[in-house]
């Protein structure tokens, strides 16, 4: 038993060296994989950033065009409403003037009629 243990210990440096070599290979492989993953992730992140940037630019451009279109449409509609309001104002002023003229004519007639009646009453009284 002691002999087996001593024999086992004789192989220990060789086994440790083998394990150290395997460990170095595993670390090297792992390091290579990590480098590959870092490179892949970096490329993917750059791609996503580029895609997002392009989409943001596209959305901004589309929104800007739509806003410009809405502003233009609203401006045209506002101009039309202002023009219609101007026509309505002129029309109302003409109607008011016509009504005022008619009222003045009627008042003159009433005034002349009243003066005539007063004159008749004055003649009857004298």
81-92: per-residue pLDDT in tens?
999 999 999 999
pLDDT of 34 higher than 90: yes
Whole-model pTM: value is 0.48
Q: How far is CA 46 from CA 57, 93, 108, in A?
A: 16, 69, 91
Cα(46)–Cα(57) distance, integer angstroms: 16
pLDDT of 4 higher than 80: no
Q: What are the backbone angles phi and psi of residue 13, rounded to the nearest 5°?
A: -60, -35
**Mean pLDDT of all residues belonging to the chain:** 92
Question: Which pLDDT tens digit goes with each residue over 37-60?
Answer: 999 999 999 999 999 999 999 999
pLDDT of 7 higher than 80: no
Cα(114)–Cα(121) distance, integer angstroms: 10
Interval 54-78 mean pLDDT: 96
Nearest to 37 by CA among 21, 29, 22: 29
Question: Residue 26 has which token pair?
Answer: 């595993």
């Amino acid at each position: 038993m002691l002999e087996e243990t001593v024999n086992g210990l004789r192989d220990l440096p060789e086994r440790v060296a083998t394990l150290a070599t395997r460990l170095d290979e595993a670390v090297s492989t792992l390091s290579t994989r990590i480098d590959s993953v870092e490179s892949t992730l970096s490329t993917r992140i750059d791609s996503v950033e580029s895609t997002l940037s392009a989409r943001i630019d596209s959305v901004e451009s589309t929104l800007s065009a739509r806003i410009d279109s809405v502003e233009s449409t609203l401006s045209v509609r506002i101009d039309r409403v202002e023009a219609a309001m101007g026509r309505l104002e002129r029309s109302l002023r003409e109607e008011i003037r016509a009504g005022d003229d008619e009222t003045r004519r009627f008042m003159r007639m009433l005034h002349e009629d009243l003066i005539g009646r007063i004159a008749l009453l004055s003649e009857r009284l004298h």
